[in-house]
Structure 1
């Protein structure tokens, strides 16, 4: 069956739009890849050449293009346009993007330009490693004050709970600026932080790297961050100082 590129592309995009609920913005990102694979021809040789052509892109782009291409070829196969799913066994390259983080000097330079609530919040997130959503869910009833520290009951991803211990002076700072009573919206926080060149998760990364640089154990960091798998936490070991020995666990 001869495929007419423009016709098949319009049909596929209508399917994604009306049956899969894909946004126009996402379809726009798909467009170049779909046109690219159509230009090589929907044959075994054509799809092989398409895969070879991806070498000129960075790894993250290759992964995205392969995912898009695999979905498209699978659609053509299931609709009977082609007799073989040519990309069924195609695999995207495995890669890990190293987390960005702030040095102490960089962090100080940024918060020196912040005021009140947002400055206190940046310090709080930097020193707890909380996700912005976890902070937003935190209330006074989740806080228990002990003799020389405070316990925070954190509601993490999947409603999993964990307890985080913090120094009382950090809690005093949070209370002084009413971080738990007068929360700004997550959108407002992100907007303010972005204006100062940072984002909430960057502070979480910064906490994690600093924790390991100070000799903290990776299994402790896993528990503090609320990661379900230590392999997720392990990425931080790739950006810590070379002279730091990660404790055994």
Structure 2
């Protein structure tokens, strides 16, 4: 079996069994082509590469200046690819299993304040040039902020999601995993207003694109979000669907939500992914203490008048 056929079979498995996104499949395909070129120069076939060859490959990525996140994705691809070959009987081991992952920089997610979210929602109520555009904006923002959906999950929502009086949405997330998320009264009302406006399109999607038979594209939604940000007086560069997801999670924790419940709402397979938001709260608490505690930054005027000897 050639390297190209092995790679194709691996990618087909990821798509069929794990529901891998198109972007992930495209990135892994490029990663495997790059690996194939490297191992060929090392004088061996991709399926026969040992841990030493793969270690040299990863070292070369760092020397070439690839970011730690890109290196980590490449390593993830290698581990999954060689595990696949092992399970298919094409190898007896996984030579990438013990390779060390690059240390990733600690980055805290960006999020909006509650006042900024209110400003965004209020901007959708301004006298519109295109009434439907702002109905779609209001419905999308209400659902994203009320439920913490990923943008791919939002745009894939079927129109039938609003059937009946259900207060929950059934969402299909990463890897085809399904979960239930709550739908607030305001979010449901906004979504129903949009569905009523779009009735003539007969679209199967809650957020239809121009022809009605396909969902709104990510690029189309980004343009709507850009315009809403401008109307709300916010810098569009600070706003994205993922920022709204981070804002949902941060505000939920700040108001006392349980971390495990938040993991379920966000659809995280591992609670370690959810725990990043505890760092956000810790950073906020530190800033509050530094800004307001009387001993922050040194005791100002320590002793006051009492410094004078009597």
Report the TM-score range of the alignment, normalised by the length of the smaller protein: 0.5 to 0.7
Whether the 8 Å CA contact 2:254–2:281 is kept in 1: the answer is yes
**How much has 1:191 moved relative to structure 2?**
3.1
Question: 1:148 aligns to what?
Answer: none
**How much has 1:188 moved relative to structure 2?**
0.6
How has the CA–CA distance of structure 1 residues 97 and 129 changed in structure 2, closer, same or farther, with 3 Å as cutoff? farther
Question: 2:169 aligns to what?
Answer: 154
Describe the SS at the equivalent of 1:155. Answer: strand
Partners of 2:262 and 2:84 in 1: how far apart? 41
Partners of 1:44 and 1:170 in 2: how far apart? 52
Partners of 2:8 and 2:280 in 1: how far apart? 41
Whether the 8 Å CA contact 1:101–1:202 is kept in 2: the answer is yes
Question: 1:92 aligns to what?
Answer: 101
Question: 2:164 aligns to what?
Answer: 141
Where do 5+ consecutive residues of structure 2 fail to align?
A: 14-24, 45-49, 200-205, 209-213, 227-238, 287-310
Q: Which of 244, 262, 267 lines up with 1:221 in the alignment?
A: 262
Describe the SS at the equivalent of 2:147. Answer: coil
Count of matched residue pairs: 223
**How much has 1:62 moved relative to structure 2?**
1.7
Segment of structure 1 superposing worse, 33-42 or 67-76: 67-76
Whether the 8 Å CA contact 1:174–1:180 is kept in 2: the answer is no
Name the TM-score, length of structure 2 as normaliser.
0.52
Question: 1:30 aligns to what?
Answer: 32
Partners of 1:232 and 1:208 in 2: how far apart? 12
Question: 1:14 aligns to what?
Answer: 5
Describe the SS at the equivalent of 1:239. Answer: helix
Question: 1:146 aligns to what?
Answer: none
Where do 5+ consecutive residues of structure 1 fail to align?
A: 1-7, 144-151
How has the CA–CA distance of structure 1 residues 215 and 244 changed in structure 2, closer, same or farther, with 3 Å as cutoff? farther
Question: 1:117 aligns to what?
Answer: 135
How has the CA–CA distance of structure 1 residues 204 and 139 changed in structure 2, closer, same or farther, with 3 Å as cutoff? same
Per-residue CA shift, 1:193-249, capped at 9, x if unaligned? Answer: 22245654442222112222345443453454455654342222223363449xxxx
How has the CA–CA distance of structure 1 residues 181 and 241 changed in structure 2, closer, same or farther, with 3 Å as cutoff? farther
